[in-house]
Amino acid sequence: MKNRTFNIVISGTGGQGLITLLQIIAEAALVEGLDVKTSELHGLSQRGGAVETHIRFGKKIYSPLVSLGSADLILSLETLESLRAL
What would the pLDDT profile of 3-17 be if each residue is shown by its tens digit? 789 999 999 888 888
Domain topology for 6-85: Pyruvate-ferredoxin Oxidoreductase; domain 3 (3.40.920)
From first to last of the 86 residues of the chain, give the pLDDT tens digit. Answer: 557 899 999 998 888 888 899 999 999 999 999 999 999 877 655 666 788 899 999 999 999 999 888 999 999 988 777 777 66
Q: Where are the domains of the chain?
A: 6-85
Give the list of residues 6+ apart from residue 20 with CB closer than 8 angstroms, or none.
none
**Given this model, what pLDDT does residue 25 score?**
95
How many distinct helices (H) and strands (E) make up the chain?
2, 4
